[in-house]
Structure 1
Amino acid sequence: MFWTLSFWIIAALLILPFPVKIYEYISGRDNSPLIVKIEEMVNALFMLVGLCGFYGFLQQTPLLFAEFWYAWLALYVIISLLSLRYSPKLKYSAKLNSRRFHTISMALGILLYTPMLIAVFYYAQQMPN
């Protein structure tokens, strides 16, 4: 039950805002710099790949191969660590919001996406060799 609920929460967080963001980009309502928009879309697409791994874990359906999911996890960790220093989106967000809000939102993001990371790790471990 925990895994299924986590999957649907993460799926909603990734998929539901997507059309709204696209609309805001096209209509000009989102006045963030282009590099922030690119980073948001790349991150969303990257996380959707992880969501596919989470789905495979829940359904016990092999999607791709274990090495792919281990590489995805490693890349996720590397990107996450690098983004703490170099992310245009985080720098832009820090200008708009207080430091406290910024820290709390980062902690919530980590907390919300942790079940997906654990599920993808378990999924890669369970794959046949």
Structure 2
Amino acid sequence: MKMFWIFCFWLTAALLLLPLPFKLNALITAKDTRSAFVKYEEWANTLLLAIGLMAFCSFTYPRSLPLSKHGWQGWLLLTIGVSIMALGRSAKLRHATEVFIGSQRCKDRHYY
């Protein structure tokens, strides 16, 4: 069972860390044309996930946590709250819907 959690930790770390240089490059070179709210939400989610990755690391490889027990409980409540609020008011979801619906309109025109 320990190998499962180690695999999950490194998979989560890879999903967070591998795209990070490309996202930073797109942000610095202004190639990311999404709205500022979408970028802000994405980086806020990345920060919350990175903080959570520290807790996951201490669970996978037993070490002391940098925050107290109450600090981690606060982080968990904050993360759950942000996730629930994002279901109704997410700039990323609105942007993805606009992109998807826009591409569907192009497909529905049946250009042959």
Whole-Å separation in 2 of the counterparts to 1:83 and 1:15? 22
Whole-Å separation in 2 of the counterparts to 1:65 and 1:27? 39
TM-score, structure 2 normalization: 0.82
Q: Map of 1:81-120 to 2, 5 A cutoff?
A: 81-97=84-100
Aligned residue type for 1:74: L
Q: CA deviation at 1:28?
A: 2.1
Q: Counterpart in 2 of 1:5?
A: 7
**Consecutive unaligned residues in structure 2, runs of 5 or more:** 102-112
Q: Secondary structure at the match of 1:97?
A: helix
Aligned residue type for 1:24: A
Misfit runs of 4+, over 2 Å:
none
Larger radius of gyration: 2
* Structure that is richer in helix per residue: 1
Aligned residue type for 1:16: L
Q: Secondary structure at the match of 1:32?
A: coil
Whole-Å separation in 1 of the counterparts to 2:47 and 2:16? 9
What is the CA deviation profile of residues 76-129 of structure 1, one whole-angstrom value per residue up to 9, with x for unaligned ones? 11111100111111111111125xxxxxxxxxxxxxxxxxxxxxxxxxxxxxxx
Could you tell me the percent identity over the aligned residues? 37
TM-score, structure 1 normalization: 0.72
Whole-Å separation in 2 of the counterparts to 1:16 and 1:45? 14
Q: Counterpart in 1 of 2:108?
A: none
Provide the alpha-carbon RMSD of the alignment. Answer: 1.1
Whole-Å separation in 1 of the counterparts to 2:48 and 2:100? 25
Whole-Å separation in 2 of the counterparts to 1:56 and 1:13? 18
Aligned length, in residue pairs: 98
- 1:46 equivalent to 2:56? Answer no
Q: CA deviation at 1:38?
A: 1.2
Q: Counterpart in 1 of 2:39?
A: 37
- 1:69 equivalent to 2:72? Answer yes
Aligned residue type for 2:40: I
Whole-Å separation in 1 of the counterparts to 2:9 and 2:61? 11
Whole-Å separation in 2 of the counterparts to 1:10 and 1:62? 20
**Consecutive unaligned residues in structure 1, runs of 5 or more:** 99-129
From 20, 23, 42, give the equivalent of 1:21.
23
